[in-house]
Amino acid sequence: MNSTLAQPAETGIRRPAQTGHIILDRVTVRFGEDVRGRRAIFDTSLEIRPREFVCLLGPSGCGKSTLLNCIAGYIRPSSGEVRVDGHIVERPGPERGMVFQQYSLFPWKSIRDNIAFGPLRAGKSRAEALAIADHFLTMIGLSGFSKRYPAELSGGMQQRVGIARALANYPSVLLMDEPFGALDAQTRAMMQESLLRIWGEVETTVVFVTHDVDEAIFLADRIVVMSAGPGRIIADQDVPLLRPRSPDILTDDTFIRIKKSCLARIRAESLKAFQQQNR
Ligand code: ADP
Ligand code: MG
């Protein structure tokens, strides 16, 4: 896709194409000072290409959030390093947007001002920041709600605002930590479709954490499966399903084949962990 098509002329923002290249180089994360302390992630390497949509899939506690937080810069690895576009990640930055499960909007600001917050902080004029906010409000289908406050919106709507707020910084990487985990199944399915449509309009690498196999396959170009004790990658699988995707693909043969293989892998690892714990 041509990068000039993806970003609106009126906001005057251009990012160089091919940004959002993530490298995890032998990352280990230990919580606690002791070198023998519990490792949440162990010696994990991974490369994510620009504009790729990668789902990190794994059971609760396997280190998905920890890995995402390393890319975001909220956690520094105990050893190894994370590089984004060649720069070692040392702290959070606007080029790496994060969307959490809790909506984490400013309750005292209108929807429009929530989205304009990042651009304003980055030094844009109020008029520019509001133009950017309006662009993303339209993209998420909520332009009629710009003056509303977060509490007046449903969970799904608030999460769309959360996505728009992250995108308003024109991040090269969008990090999403179980963003639809708190939503009911119906809303969740709508949000997945909505996210794919939005992603089709922006030039952004997405790393999306989930423990839901169907969600991972529906969304991703590639699924990275993690296992606990300590967290490491046990499978790395392409999802060769055509886009745009609709819920019809849930019954597609390729979808089912990938699902079986992911589930078998997760089950084998869970069984191993279970046997170790019960020895
Ligand atoms: P997931 O997101 O896959 O559920 P997390 O990355 O949150 O897993 O956690 C991985 C492991 O690291 C878990 O065992 C968790 O208890 C532990 N952990 C996470 N954050 C901290 C922390 N700040 N201090 C100590 N242990 C932590
Ligand atoms: Mg988590």
Confidence of residue 11 (pLDDT cuts 50, 70, 90): low
Confidence of residue 35 (pLDDT cuts 50, 70, 90): low
* Residue 136 is assigned to a structural domain of this protein: no
Q: Average the pLDDT over 49-54 and give the result.
A: 97
Confidence of residue 14 (pLDDT cuts 50, 70, 90): low
Within 10 Å of residue 203's Cβ, how many Cβ atoms?
A: 24
| Ligand 1 centroid to residue 131 C-alpha, Å | 39
* Residue 233 is assigned to a structural domain of this protein: yes
Round to whole Å and give the CA distance between 224 and 220.
10
How does pLDDT run across 66-122, given as a tens digit for each residue?
999 999 999 999 999 999 999 999 999 999 999 998 878 999 999 999 999 999 999
Q: Average the pLDDT over 222-236 and give the result.
A: 91
Mean pLDDT for the chain overall: 91
Ligand 1 site residues, Cβ closer than 6 angstroms = 31, 40, 58, 60-66
Quote the pTM value.
0.92
Residue 255's pLDDT is: 97
Round to whole Å and give the CA distance between 3 and 134.
20
Q: What is the CATH number of the domain that holds 220?
A: 3.40.50.300
Round to whole Å and give the CA distance between 272 and 65.
22
Torsional sign, CA 162, 165, 167, 169: negative
* Residue 125 is assigned to a structural domain of this protein: no
Torsional sign, CA 207, 159, 189, 171: negative
Burial 158-195 (b: 16+ CB within 10 A, else e): bbbbbbbbbbbbbbbbbbbbbbbbebeeebbbebbebb
Which residues span the domain enclosing 190? Answer: 22-95+171-278
How does pLDDT run across 177-205, given as a tens digit for each residue?
999 999 999 999 999 999 999 999 998 99
CA-angle at 86, arms to 101 and 99, nearest 5°: 10
Torsional sign, CA 98, 160, 118, 171: positive
The total of structural domains in the chain comes to: 1
Residue 17's pLDDT is: 66
| Ligand 1 centroid to residue 38 C-alpha, Å | 10
Residue 8's pLDDT is: 46
Confidence of residue 16 (pLDDT cuts 50, 70, 90): low
Confidence of residue 278 (pLDDT cuts 50, 70, 90): confident
* Residue 190 is assigned to a structural domain of this protein: yes
* Residue 5 is assigned to a structural domain of this protein: no
Residue 275's pLDDT is: 82
| Ligand 2 centroid to residue 225 C-alpha, Å | 14
* Residue 193 is assigned to a structural domain of this protein: yes
Residue 272's pLDDT is: 81
| Ligand 2 centroid to residue 41 C-alpha, Å | 13
* Residue 9 is assigned to a structural domain of this protein: no
* Residue 206 is assigned to a structural domain of this protein: yes
To test the pocket of ligand 1, the residue of 30, 66, 234 to mutate (highest count of ligand atoms within 8 Å of its CB) is: 66
Residue 6's pLDDT is: 41
Residue 34's pLDDT is: 65
Which uninterrupted H or E stretch holds 258? helix 253-277
Q: Are 20 and 28 in contact (CB under 8 A)?
A: no
To test the pocket of ligand 1, the residue of 31, 64, 68, 100 to mutate (highest count of ligand atoms within 8 Å of its CB) is: 31
How does pLDDT run across 136-162, given as a tens digit for each residue?
999 999 999 999 999 999 999 999 999
CA of 68, closest atom in ligand 1 = 6
